[in-house]
Structure 1
Amino acid sequence: MKVGLLRAVGVATAVYGVAVAALPDLLARPSGLADARGRTGPATRTALRPLAWRDAVSGLAMTLAPEGPALRTAAYVRIAADFGDAVLLGATLPGRGRKLSAVAVSVGWGALSVAGLLADRRRWGSGVMRSVEVGPLRVRR
């Protein structure tokens, strides 16, 4: 598990979630959920805020969870949310371009969390002290 990557995804997700909860237009406009003048209707704002809060809380969990099973679980929740967003937004957003963009962004963020879970700290290193394995040799820098 690459803790630093998971923490970075968590911070970015939490910040984005808080921003969208406060200003739903940040998600509504690029998703094609605003009207022709770029305004987001009250019902759309109401529907987007809980999703944004989900992102804020799941990102915060990834940021603060202790390393180990708690962080792994927080990452699984985040991955499920991102891949779920890809499926649901890809199926329901207006316009092919917006659907493709939403799928790409959602899968991209989910993939970062997957990479963080799958990365082997022994192979890739962690923090200031990194280790390198070459055949039977192991060198610490």
Structure 2
Amino acid sequence: MHVGLLRTVGATTAVYGLAVTAWPGLLAKPSGLAEADGRTASATRTSLRPLAWRDAACGLALVLAPAGPALRTAAGLRIAADFGDAALLGVTLPGRARRRAAVAVSLGWGALSVAGVLWPASGRRDRGARP
């Protein structure tokens, strides 16, 4: 397991999740969920905030979990969330290009977490590992 990679994925998704929780338009606009004038409707903001909060929580778990089973579990949650996003957003977002982009981004982040879990142990402690 590559602890440093998992912690980096975690920190990045936590920050992104917190940002989208505060400003849902960061996700709504590129996803095609904003209004024609670029504003994000109240119902859309309400729907996106829990999704963003989930990303923040999963990311924080990756940052804080001790190396070993707890970190693998946190990574599993992150992977399930990313692959679930790919499956659901890939068939529900408006516009083929936006669906493809959402799938690519979601699969990319999920793949980074998979790589972090499957990375062969190096015999020396990862810099990001905690005892």
Q: Which runs of 5+ in 1 are unaligned?
A: 128-141
Relative to the length of structure 2, the TM-score reads 0.94
- CA deviations 1:25-84 (Å, max 9, x no partner) are 000000000011111100000000000000000000000000000000000000000000
Per the TM alignment, residue 125 of structure 1 is displaced from its structure 2 partner at its CA by: 7.8
Q: What are the equivalent positions in structure 2 for 1:127-138 lying under 5 Å apart? A: 127=127
SS in 1 for 2:70: helix
Match of 1:5 in 2: 5
Report the TM-score, using the length of structure 1 for normalisation.
0.87
The structure with the largest alpha-carbon Rg is 1
Identity within the alignment, %: 70
Inter-partner Cα distance in structure 1 for 2:22 and 2:55:
13
Looking at secondary structure, tell me which structure has more strand per residue.
1
- Equivalent-residue separation in structure 1 for 2:59 and 2:100 (angstroms): 24
Structure 2 equivalent of residue 61 of structure 1: 61
Q: Runs (4+) of structure 1 moved beyond 4 Å?
A: none
The answer as to 2:124 corresponding to 1:92 is: no
Match of 1:70 in 2: 70
Number of residue-to-residue matches in the alignment:
127
Q: Could you list the runs of 5+ residues in structure 2 that have no partner in the other structure?
A: none
Answer 1 or 2: higher relative contact order, Cα 8 Å, separation at least 6: 2
| SS state at 1:122 partner | coil
Query: Whole-Å Cα distance in 2 between the matches of residues 91 and 70 of structure 1?
Result: 32
Change (3 A) 1:124 1:108: farther
CA RMSD of aligned residues (A): 1.3
* Structure 2: distance between partners of 1:126 and 1:60: 18
| AA aligned opposite 2:120 | D
Match of 1:114 in 2: 114
Distance 2:124 2:36 in 1: 48
- Give the AA of the match of 1:22: A
CA distance in 2, matches of 1:73, 1:84: 16
1:39 paired with 2:39, answer yes
Cα distance in 2 for residues equivalent to 1:111 and 1:124:
24
Instruction: Give the equivalent residue in structure 2 for 1:19.
Output: 19
Distance 2:119 2:36 in 1: 44
